[in-house]
């Protein structure tokens, strides 16, 4: 049974937690979720059972990433009030209770539909948090705008704080890896 917020008692036994970045990396600030996941991977070491996933724009496949998780933290660009780079936090109910919208992009159905499908089948995450950032630009571009770049450390802190609420502590990677998301590289080597 899901709960509205991600905070809760420490996860008992091996965790099954996903931190999922959603967004199209070719559309500017829509890449915020994958970028935060890349930053978390570059700066921290996570214990077994915490999966960092750059899910991109998975459409119908999204529920496969979310199915049966103890906790789920999703990072995405969101349409919300506020200046570009503002972070907004949403609970499971706040995401699922929104009215349905028309499918207007090739990566829909989206997060709401995936969560509703899992809830219907009894496979919804036990705890959920959406970390959303208000975008400045969503257009053909492979770079985040300056306001979204500045929001990345705050989003990392929110994710780490949510994990700490479960007794999950990420280690600091020393030295940190260079933050070079694959979609921003000009060098074709891996």
pLDDT, tens digit only, all 190 positions of the chain: 444 445 455 556 678 999 999 999 999 999 999 999 999 999 999 999 999 999 888 877 888 888 889 999 999 999 889 999 999 999 999 988 877 665 555 555 688 888 888 888 888 888 999 999 999 998 898 899 999 999 999 999 999 999 999 889 999 999 988 888 888 877 656 5
CA 60 to CA 71: how far, in whole Å? Answer: 20
pLDDT of residue 38: 96
Token pair of 142, please? Answer: 């492979």
pLDDT of residue 7: 47
Contact criterion met (CB below 8 Å) for 139 and 27: yes
Torsion of Cα atoms, 8 then 12 then 16 then 18, to 10°:
30
CB-based contacts of 94, cutoff 8 Å, min separation 6: 4, 130
Token pair of 134, please? Answer: 């208000």
pLDDT of residue 187: 67
Residue of 41, 34, 115 whose CA lies nearest to 77: 34
Residue of 86, 60, 56 whose CA lies nearest to 74: 56
pLDDT of residue 190: 57
Residue labelled with tokens 């049966």:
68
Token pair of 88, please? Answer: 């907004």
């Amino acid at each position: 049974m899901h709960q509205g917020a991600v905070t809760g008692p420490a996860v008992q036994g091996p965790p099954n937690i996903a931190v999922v970045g959603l967004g199209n990396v070719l559309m500017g600030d829509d890449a915020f979720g994958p970028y935060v996941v890349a930053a978390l991977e570059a700066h921290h070491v996570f214990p077994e059972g915490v999966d960092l996933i750059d899910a991109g724009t998975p459409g119908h496949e999204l529920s496969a990433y979310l199915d049966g998780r103890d906790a789920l933290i999703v990072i995405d660009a969101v349409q919300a009030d506020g200046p570009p780079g503002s972070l907004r936090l949403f609970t499971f109910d706040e995401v699922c209770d929104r009215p349905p919208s028309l499918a207007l992009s090739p990566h829909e159905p989206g997060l709401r539909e995936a969560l509703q499908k899992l809830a219907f089948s009894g496979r919804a995450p036990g705890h959920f948090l959406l970390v959303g950032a208000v975008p400045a630009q969503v257009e053909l571009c492979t770079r985040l705008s300056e306001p979204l770049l500045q929001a990345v450390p705050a989003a990392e802190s929110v994710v780490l704080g949510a994990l700490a609420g479960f007794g999950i502590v990420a280690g600091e990677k020393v030295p940190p890896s260079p933050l070079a998301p694959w979609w921003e590289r000009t060098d074709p080597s891996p």
